[in-house]
Structure 1
Amino acid sequence: MAVTRQKKEEALRELIDRFTRSKTVVFADYRGLDVKSISGLRKQLREKESELKVGKKTLMRLAAKEIGVDEIGSEEMEGSVAAIFSYEDELSGLRILFKFSKENEKLKLLGGIIDGKVVDPNVVQQYAKLPSREELLAKFLGSLNAPLTGFVGVLSNVIGGFVRVVNAYKESFPSAPVAAPVVETLAEPVVEVAPAVESAETTIEEPVAEVTPVVEESAEEVSN
Structure 2
Amino acid sequence: MKRERKVELADRLRERLKEAKILIAASYTGLTVAEMEAIRNAVKEQGCTFNVIKNNIVKKAVEGTAWESMTEQLKGPNAFALGFDDPAVLAKIMVEKAKEYGKLEIKFGSLEGKLLTADDIKALSKLPPKEVLVAQLLGTMKAPISGFVNVLAANIRQLLYVLKAIEEKKAKEN
Q: State if a TM-score over 0.5 links the two structures.
A: yes
Question: Is 1:131 equivalent to 2:128 in the alignment?
Answer: yes
| Distance (whole Å) between structure 2 residues aligned to residue 26 and residue 109 of structure 1 | 7
* 1:122, distance to aligned residue in structure 2 (A): 1.0
* 1:75, distance to aligned residue in structure 2 (A): 5.6
Counterpart for residue 148 of structure 1: none
| Distance (whole Å) between structure 1 residues aligned to residue 67 and residue 128 of structure 2 | 27
1:68–1:137 distance in 2 versus 1, CA, 3 Å: closer
CA deviations 1:168-197 (Å, max 9, x no partner) are xxxxxxxxxxxxxxxxxxxxxxxxxxxxxx
| Distance (whole Å) between structure 1 residues aligned to residue 20 and residue 112 of structure 2 | 11
Equivalenced residues, count:
137
1:134–1:84 distance in 2 versus 1, CA, 3 Å: same
* 1:87, distance to aligned residue in structure 2 (A): 1.2
| Distance (whole Å) between structure 1 residues aligned to residue 129 and residue 21 of structure 2 | 15
Does the Cα contact within 8 Å between 1:28 and 1:81 map onto a contact in 2? yes
List runs of 5+ in structure 1 lacking aligned partners: 144-224
* 1:72, distance to aligned residue in structure 2 (A): 1.2
Counterpart for residue 87 of structure 1: 84
1:4–1:124 distance in 2 versus 1, CA, 3 Å: same
Letter in 2 for 1:127: L
* TM-score, structure 2 as length reference: 0.70
Tell me: higher relative CO, structure 1 or 2? Use CA pairs within 8 A at least 6 residues apart: 2
Counterpart for residue 99 of structure 1: 96
| Distance (whole Å) between structure 2 residues aligned to residue 73 and residue 108 of structure 1 | 18
1:112–1:73 distance in 2 versus 1, CA, 3 Å: farther
Counterpart for residue 44 of structure 1: 42
List runs of 5+ in structure 2 lacking aligned partners: 140-174
- Secondary structure at the residue paired with 1:72? helix
* 1:134, distance to aligned residue in structure 2 (A): 5.0
Aligned Cα root-mean-square deviation (Å): 2.2
Counterpart for residue 71 of structure 1: 69
Does the Cα contact within 8 Å between 1:73 and 1:111 map onto a contact in 2? no
Normalized per residue, the structure richer in helix is 2
* 1:66, distance to aligned residue in structure 2 (A): 3.9
| Distance (whole Å) between structure 1 residues aligned to residue 104 and residue 75 of structure 2 | 13
Identity %: 23
| Distance (whole Å) between structure 2 residues aligned to residue 88 and residue 49 of structure 1 | 8
- Secondary structure at the residue paired with 1:70? helix
Does the Cα contact within 8 Å between 1:61 and 1:71 map onto a contact in 2? no
- Secondary structure at the residue paired with 2:69? coil
* 1:93, distance to aligned residue in structure 2 (A): 1.2
User: Mapping of 1:51-200 within 5 angstroms?
Assistant: 51-72=49-70, 77-78=75-76, 80-134=77-131
* TM-score, structure 1 as length reference: 0.55
Structure with larger Rg: 1
- The runs of 4+ residues in structure 1 deviating greater than 3 Å are 73-76, 133-138
- Secondary structure at the residue paired with 2:2? helix
